[in-house]
Amino acid sequence: MDVEQFRQAGYAAIDRICDYYISLDAKPVSSSVQPGYLAPLLPTAPPDEGEDFATIAADYDRLIQPGLTHWQHPSFFAYFPTSSSFEGILGDLYATAVPNPGFNWSCSPACTELEAIVMDWSAQLLGLGSAFHNAAGVGGGALQTTASDSALIATVAARERFLAAAPVKLDDLVLYVTTQTHSLGLKAGRVLGLRVRALEVCHEDRYSLRGDVLRQALEEDKAAGRHPFMLIATVGSTSSGAVDNLPEIEAVLKEHTEVWLHVDAAWAGIALCCPEMRTALFLDTINAAADSFCTNFHKWGLVNFDASTLWVRDRKSLTSALDITPPFLRTAHGDAGTVTDYRNWHLALGRRFRALKVWFVLRGFGVEGFRKHIRQGIALNAMFGALLKESDILALITPPWLALTVFRLAPPHLGLDAAALNQLNAAFFARLAVRPDLAITQTVLNGVFCVRFAVGAARTTEAHVRAAFDAIVEEARAALVLWESIA
């Protein structure tokens, strides 16, 4: 493909993206293809001769589009939002046009310098204090792929800090999470081969980790000769939006300063951009006590996947854990220590130029535009919660919070026991899961099968939320009718 062919194919791609977003609302939210749909439609080997891009693009429309689930659809309420933006698309386009592996400052100075700056902009947007700012030169932040990646990096840094002070056996280390921590906690333990202890949380505390549970676990493990080295606390859990009690945790960890506190706010942390949310999200404690903090701009934060922001209080905790500098990677600036080489701030060597899309989004929306998007998500969720409270067959599991509502079908007139209620709700959810007009997902909270409703897509309006609620009520009634007919 030469430059002029690229120009035509590029214009066509832009037009296709415009068409996509114009028609998005009318598409089914989820793909309805069956497993294995694609292989019979494609050759089993690449072609010998190159093909025209028009043919390839037509195949994209014909074969790939039907297999996509539309995470930007205004009626996508599953998992968490992936609220991308046109600014984010342009950022990825500009970046992929000048690809470079970005491992050293000298690979492309703009990549490293812009990343350091947008991380500071993001820190200010969220209210993170100067301890986490790159410009202050002590702590700092970098873009990672995902919150799992960020948590894994933090865990490596925490392990190395602990072992540097107390060289114990790896098999005696313990990583703390809670039973509501995202799978990133268990996965970090699995990847690193370390023991993980999931601390109990309960419904009465809204699934939030309390200080006394942590204190007791620390005392038990230490008495047994084990070494808890890190707690992954959560601000806004996946299942229910739970916020661990950071002030209580801070008080306990003051007596156990060797324990690294990582705060995973993958989804909810973005809401820190709104000053009115900062108390409930324990910003002061994060600023005072977190060793590391993560939130994902690619969830609720309008930046196209992937853009996970990870900050640490002490940048040396990363570089002393991760720095490997073979001769072929040495540079004059790196040797002089006058630049940041981001290869030592993450697990791999190469890294993409993700800073550009963050920069485009923060400038394109501005702080006020960004806040408006977050506040709209919170308002839409509150509206959904209000509709739900009026229902006589649906019940909230936890109060609507941020942009997430967890609920279930709970018909008082049937007098079902816990197991039967779970079965009824599984049947109810199965009906919701196959609807083409919305996407929604489930969870299990301490044995209780629930449905999660997560808003936050950039194009979602009150009408979409209301239509989703109506669909949910319709399926709830149908599930009840079927249940009673076979009871």
Q: Which of 28, 53, 138, 258 binds its own copies (CB under 8 A)?
A: 53
Interaction between residue 192 and its own copies (CB under 8 A) = yes
Nearest approach, Cβ of 434 to its own copies (angstroms)?
9
Nearest approach, Cβ of 412 to its own copies (angstroms)?
25
Q: Is 194 within 8 Å of 147 (Cβ atoms)?
A: no
Nearest-angstrom CA–CA distance, 130 and 311: 11
Interaction between residue 319 and its own copies (CB under 8 A) = no
Window contacting its own copies (CB under 8 A); options: 214-222, 245-253, 282-290, 346-354: 346-354
Interaction between residue 225 and its own copies (CB under 8 A) = no
Nearer to its own copies (CB atom), residue 89 or residue 471: 89
Nearer to its own copies (CB atom), residue 56 or residue 481: 56
Q: Which of 224, 328, 415, 486 binds its own copies (CB under 8 A)?
A: 328
Window contacting its own copies (CB under 8 A); options: 249-257, 394-402, 441-449, 471-479: 441-449
Name residue, tokens 């549970």. 213
Interaction between residue 325 and its own copies (CB under 8 A) = yes
Mapped onto helix, strand or coil, the DSSP state of residue 404 is: strand
Residues between 70 and 99 with contacts to its own copies, criterion CB under 8 A: 70-72, 79, 82, 84-90, 92-94, 96-99
Nearest-angstrom CA–CA distance, 253 and 147: 23
Nearest-angstrom CA–CA distance, 100 and 205: 48
Record the tokens describing residue 69, joined without a space: 């689930």
List the end-to-end C-alpha distance of the chain, in Å, as a whole number: 65
Window contacting its own copies (CB under 8 A); options: 190-198, 203-211, 276-284, 410-418: 190-198
Interaction between residue 20 and its own copies (CB under 8 A) = yes
Mapped onto helix, strand or coil, the DSSP state of residue 63 is: helix
Window contacting its own copies (CB under 8 A); options: 204-212, 217-225, 245-253, 367-375: 367-375
Interaction between residue 36 and its own copies (CB under 8 A) = yes
Nearer to its own copies (CB atom), residue 105 or residue 469: 105
- Pattern 268-307, binding to its own copies, x per CB under 8 A? ------------------------------x-----xxx-
Which DSSP string do the residues of 252-291 spell out, in sequence order?
Answer: HHTT-TTSEEEEE-TTGGGGGGSGGGTTTTTHHHHHHH-S
Q: Is 206 within 8 Å of 240 (Cβ atoms)?
A: yes
Nearest-angstrom CA–CA distance, 401 and 414: 29
Nearest approach, Cβ of 70 to its own copies (angstroms)?
7
Q: Which of 9, 280, 427, 467 binds its own copies (CB under 8 A)?
A: 9
Nearer to its own copies (CB atom), residue 157 or residue 252: 157
Torsion of CA 400, 214, 148, 86, to 10 degrees: 30
- Pattern 94-133, binding to its own copies, x per CB under 8 A? x-xxxxxx---xxxxxxx-xx-xx--xxx-xx--------
Nearer to its own copies (CB atom), residue 109 or residue 247: 109
Nearest approach, Cβ of 436 to its own copies (angstroms)?
14
- In sequence order, the 6+-apart residues with CB closer than 8 A to the CB of 114 are 353, 355, 356, 359
Q: Which of 136, 348, 418, 419 binds its own copies (CB under 8 A)?
A: 348
Q: Which of 131, 251, 322, 395 binds its own copies (CB under 8 A)?
A: 322
Record the tokens describing residue 41, joined without a space: 């439609």
- Pattern 129-168, binding to its own copies, x per CB under 8 A? ------x---------xxxxx--x---x--xx--x-----
Helices (H) and strands (E) in the chain, counts: 14, 11
Alpha-carbon Rg for the chain, nearest whole angstrom, is 24
- Please report, for residues 10, 70, 290, the alpha-carbon distance to residue 287 in angstroms, rounded to integers and kept in the order given: 45, 36, 6
Mapped onto helix, strand or coil, the DSSP state of residue 35 is: coil
Specify the amino acid at residue 211: G
Nearest-angstrom CA–CA distance, 256 and 174: 14
Interaction between residue 338 and its own copies (CB under 8 A) = yes
Which DSSP string do the residues of 361-387 spell out, in sequence order?
Answer: HHHHHHHHHHHHHHHHHHHHHHHHHHH
Interaction between residue 209 and its own copies (CB under 8 A) = no
Residues between 168 and 187 with contacts to its own copies, criterion CB under 8 A: 169-171, 182-184, 186-187
